[in-house]
Amino acid sequence: MAVASIPAALRRSADSLDDAEVLRIRNDFPVLGREVNGRPLIYLDSGATSQNPLSVLEAEQEFYEQRNAAVHRGAHHLAVEATEAFEDARQAVAAFVGARYEEIVWTSNATEAVNLLAYSFSNASLGRGGEAAARFALAPGDEIVATEMEHHANLIPWQELAARTGATFRYIPVDDDGALRMEEAAAIIGPRTKILAFTHASNVLGTVNPVPELVALARGAGALVVLDACQSAPHLPLDVKALDVDFAVFSGHKMLGPTGIGALYGRQELLDALPPFLTGGSMITKVTMEGAGYLPAPQRFEAGTQRISQAIALAAAVNYLRETGMERIHAWETALGRRLVEGLSAIDGVRVLGPAPGQERIGLAAFDVAGVHAHDVGQFLDDRGIAVRVGHHCAQPLHRRLGLTATTRASTYLYNTTAEIDAFLAAVSEVRGYFRAGE
C-alpha cells in the first residue's frame, strides 16, 4: 500500500515540527517509552486524552511538596504562595486563548463548563440575577440551536435546558459527508434564537467549522455564542476575542494537562451578570440567614475547594505548548492528518469520515472497516501496541446520520511521528484479511 509522503518543503520548514524534533519532544513524555503487548507503544488516542510531559507532572508534584494549602482562605505563608500560583495559572491559561484574566473560570472539565452555563441560564430564567441576568432567561418560544455533529457534552445540557424552560431545541443538520448545511443554518438561526452552541473542530470528522460565518448568523439574530473548543485549543492557535464568541469551553486533559481541570471562557460583562450555579464558600461577599451576595466573576462560579494543583499543572501544559509553538504544532498535525486520510482512503474497504483528502481538518481520522466491527479493529490494533479510540465517540446522532453505530478513530498530537502513522496504516491494511471480511 502506497502511503503519501509529506512534502519536503513542509518537512523542513521552520514553521512546522519535523520528525527529528518530534523524537526529541517524545523524551519529555515518559509513557511513550513503554511497550504494550511486547510492541513499542504507538499512542493515537490524544483526541480522548493526551499524554503529559515531565514539566506538567513536576508542576503538580512541586505544588504538593512545597506549597500545598487552601487558596483565598488563609493569611499564612503557604496559603499566600498557593493562591499566587493558582491565580498565576489562570493568567497563563487566559493568555493562551486570548482572554482576560477575569474571563477564565476553572471547572472540572468542559462538560462541567457547559452544564455550568446551562444551569446558570436556568437560574436566570427563574428570575435570579435580576435585570442584569434577564438577557440569559429563556421561555417558551425561545430557541436553542446546536449542530448534528456535537459531542454529547455540548448537546444534552442544551436539551435539558430546553426541557426546564420550555424553550425549543433545534439543530443544524450535516450533509452526507458530515459538513454543516450552512444554507439551512441561515434559515434556522433567527429572531427566536437565544443560544447558538457548536464545536470548533469535530472530534469525529476532524472538520474545522466556519466560526466567522456562524458567529455572524448569531450576531444577526442577537443570540449568544457558545464554542466547544475541546478539539481546537490543544491543536490550533486559539484566540477567543478574534473569534468573537461569547463563551468557550475546553478541557486540560486533551492539551497535555491533567484530568480534573477544564475552563469556561466568558466575556467579563456576561460572566458578571450571569447568576451562579454552584453556591457555597469562597464565592460570596456577605451571607446572612436571609440571603447572600456574590463576588464578581470568576470567583462567583468557583464555590468550594478548587482544583489547585490541576490548574497549576494546566498552566505548565499551556506553557509547554506555547514554547513549542501552536502554529508549528498545527502545521505538523495537518501533515499527519493528511497522511492518515490519504493512507486510510487507499485501503480497500475503509471508509473515512469527514473532509476528503486535501481538505482542511485537524489531525484525526475516524473510519469504518467494511465487515469488521470497530471494537474488533481496536483490539487488533491494540495487539500491535497501537492505541486508538473505538465506539461512537460521544456523538451518537452524528454516527446515526452517517449510517454507522461505531467507528475507529486515530488522533495525533505533537509527539507522533510519520513512522508511527505508517505503522498504523500498515496494520489497518491487514484488518480485513485477518478477519476474512468480504470473503
Q: Known catalytic residues?
A: 394
At position 308, the amino acid (one-letter code) is I
Task: Tell me which H or E stretch contains 193.
Answer: strand 193-199
User: 397-426 b/e with 16+ CB inside 10 Å = b?
Assistant: bbbebbebebbbbbbbbbbbbbebbebbbe
Q: CB neighbours (10 Å) of residue 64?
A: 11
- Residue 171's DSSP bridge partners are 146
Q: How far apart are CA 347 and CA 84, in angstroms?
A: 54
Task: Tell me which H or E stretch contains 225.
Answer: strand 224-228
C-alpha cell at position 129: 440575577
Q: How far apart are CA 314 and CA 93, in angstroms?
A: 8
Decide if 283 contacts 299 (C-beta within 8 A): yes
C-alpha cell at position 75: 493569611
Residues 6+ apart with CB under 8 A from 176: 402
Instruction: At 84, give phi and psi (nearest 5°).
Output: -65, -45
Decide if 96 contacts 322 (C-beta within 8 A): yes
Q: How far apart are CA 407 and CA 195, in angstroms?
A: 30
Decide if 225 contacts 246 (C-beta within 8 A): yes
Q: How many CA within 13 A on the CB side of residue 334? A: 18
Q: Which of 154, 216, 217 is nearest to 184 (CA)?
A: 217
Q: Strand, helix or coil at 13?
A: coil
R_g of the chain, CA atoms, integer Å: 23
